Amino acid sequence: MSRTVKVQEAKTRLSALLADVKRGEEVIIARGDKPVARLVPLQEPAERELGFVPYDVPDSFFEPLPEAELAAWEQ
């Protein structure tokens, strides 16, 4: 269900409009008679599993860096 409110009413009643949107209502904001924005509840992002790309870190990754490379990072 949606309803349309003018900009001035939206400015005055923003907290109440956000509460309505949180409950699932859609609010259209209009400037004059022309709709310009729509307030809708946010969709929670779907949970993603970590490790979605198969990759193994080589053991050499955890070895200390050579002195020359360490010195280059310190410059």
| Tens of pLDDT, residues 42-58 | 988 888 777 677 888 89
pTM of this structure:
0.58
Check residue 48 and give its pLDDT: 78
Check residue 39 and give its pLDDT: 96
Query: 5: closest CA among 62, 24, 25?
Result: 25
Residue 3 is assigned to a structural domain of this protein: yes
Q: What distance lies between CA 52 and its chain's CA centroid?
A: 21
Residue 52 is assigned to a structural domain of this protein: no
Q: What are the pLDDT digits (tens) for 17-40?
A: 999 999 999 999 999 999 999 999
3: domain CATH number?
A: 3.40.1620.10
Check residue 53 and give its pLDDT: 78
Per the structure, the complete domain to which residue 4 belongs is given by: 1-41
Residue 17 is assigned to a structural domain of this protein: yes
Inform me whether the pLDDT recorded for 10 exceeds 80: yes
Residue 56 is assigned to a structural domain of this protein: no
Total count of domains within the chain: 1
